Amino acid sequence: MPRPVVAPGFDRRILVGLCGVLLAVLVSGFNENVTKVALADIRGAMGFSVDDGSWIVALYSAMSVSAMAFAPWCAATFSLRRFALAMIGGFMVLGVLCPLAPNLQTFLLLRALQGMCGGALPPLLMSVALRFLPPGIKLYGLAAYALTATFGPSMGTPLAAFWVEQVGWHWAFWQIVPYCLAAMAMVGWGLPQDPLRLERFAQFDGVGLMLGLPALVLLVLGLVQGPRLNWFDSSLITLMLGGGAGLLVLFFINEWFHPLPFFKLQLLANRNLSYSLITLGGVLFVLLAVISIPSGFLASVQGYRPQQTAPMLLWVAVPQVIALPLVAALLNIRAIDCRWVQATGLALLALACWLGAHLDVSWIRDNFLWVQLLQVFAQPMAVLPLLMLATGGLAPQDGPFASAWFNTVKGFAAVLASGVLEAVAQGRRHFHSTVLVERLGEQPWLAEGPQLGARLHAQVQALTSADLYLLVALVALAFIPLIAWMPTRIHPPRAVA
């Protein structure tokens, strides 16, 4: 019989430990986004090709998402503190070694391992918040977790602009070191030390690991590389996505019957959890798009470097530190229905995207001001109710399973959203380019004047960006009717007067 783990009383040490895990998770997100934004500089400095760079991103993402699936089991077995310290330490050391890699193969291996360590951290943050925080402030702990979806991604470009353009490309990797050291000190001092539970290995889900790990890796690699290799026109992408999907089906069959699974499929009978997982994919699609669309437009049409784009993203990122606790306080009021808070958040995101759809080739950074500012409260209002619905009403022993579900879907949905967005963008660019070229053929006087190619490119990018904004607005609106049908009303853990 497994020994029950008793949660100690909440005090400042646990608060410090929670902040340490939060810092590590944010740094992990910063690292992933900084290296993506600075990829051209990294490739140039290390002599890697564009194709090489695509595998750098793909392998990191694949291992990161895969680690999210299995980290809760490892934390329950080896203890939260031991596992967190090991993953933070490994993440830091691998980051130091990456720019010192002598060749591409070594670099890819280091990045894949670093992705594994970084991906293991977000589930630990949710586990700490669910286990240690008293009911009255649990929503604030979940708000801290929500920072990883709202604050973290927007900070990639500003940090890349500073480290790469002001200090040096090595620091796109090395900037994590002081933060990781601080996080390890906070976790080591703050989190209580649970006993090892090695008896769990007697029921180890080895078949699940052998099926689930390659399934997630293949699916993520296929989604990341799909736009570059033209999806199913490539036999490699077909093999990755087809093989990954087949293995995933077998994995879920195994998980249904296993006595100690990595994923507890029976939890999907909980309507609120199922709704949260479904809607999470749509919300992450929207959140990714509202970062990538304006950034891509300004870089492609106006020639902005990350340093010039950074202030626009900071308009959303920095206020999240205030907006998330305020939304948590709102949700902690018993009279407030979190479902309609989320509906409001999705509606505001749709409004922001509708405003963005009016862009044209003359838009510069300041024209996106209202598009960005509307998201300050819209993003936490769309994300935090999902966390409340996903975790509310679950038994304590189901916390690790809920964490595995939520974090794996979160990581996988972000990759899927990126692939879908790029595929749609490619299609719309091709469509608008064809239409504009045909118009030039029918009305040759339109082609008069210098720099025809540049003007045509700018117009295609503007029309494509507007189309993407409209698509994202429709996605945000499409999930609102689901709120009235699927999730049930849930009250906060403790009413606030």
Nearest alpha carbon to residue 280 among 162, 384, 368: 384
pLDDT, position 442: 61
Residue 210 has pLDDT above 90, yes or no: yes
Q: What pLDDT does residue 374 have?
A: 92
pLDDT in tens, 298-342: 988 888 887 788 888 888 888 888 898 999 999 988 889 989 999
Cβ pair 409, 362 in contact under 8 A? no
Predicted confidence (pLDDT) per residue in 408-439, tens digit: 888 888 888 888 888 899 889 989 888 887 77
| Encoded tokens for 111 | 């990045």
pLDDT tens per residue, range 73-118 = 998 899 999 999 999 999 999 999 998 888 889 999 999 999 999 9
Helix 306-317 / helix 138-154 crossing angle, nearest 10 deg: 160
Residue 329 buriedness (CB in 10 A; 0-12 / 13-18 / 19+): middle
CB contact set of 328 (below 8 Å; sequence gap of 6+) = 139, 140, 142, 143, 384
Assign 496 to helix, strand or coil: coil
**What whole-number distance in Å separates Cα of residue 298 and Cα of residue 432?**
18
CA distances for 415 relative to 190, 242, 289, 357, angstroms: 33, 17, 12, 24
Check if the beta carbon of residue 73 is closer than 8 Å to that of residue 263: no
Q: How far apart are CA 483 and CA 293, in angstroms?
A: 27
CB atoms within 10 A of CB 249: 12
Q: How many angstroms separate the CA atoms of 53 and 416, rounded? A: 19
Mean pLDDT of all residues in the chain? 86
User: Among 322, 341, 376, 325, which residue's Cα sits nearest to residue 143?
Assistant: 325
pLDDT of 368:
92
Higher pLDDT, 210 or 131: 210
Are residues 218 and 244 in contact, defined by beta-carbon separation less than 8 angstroms?
yes
Select from 274, 184, 223, 213 the least CA-distant residue to 73: 213
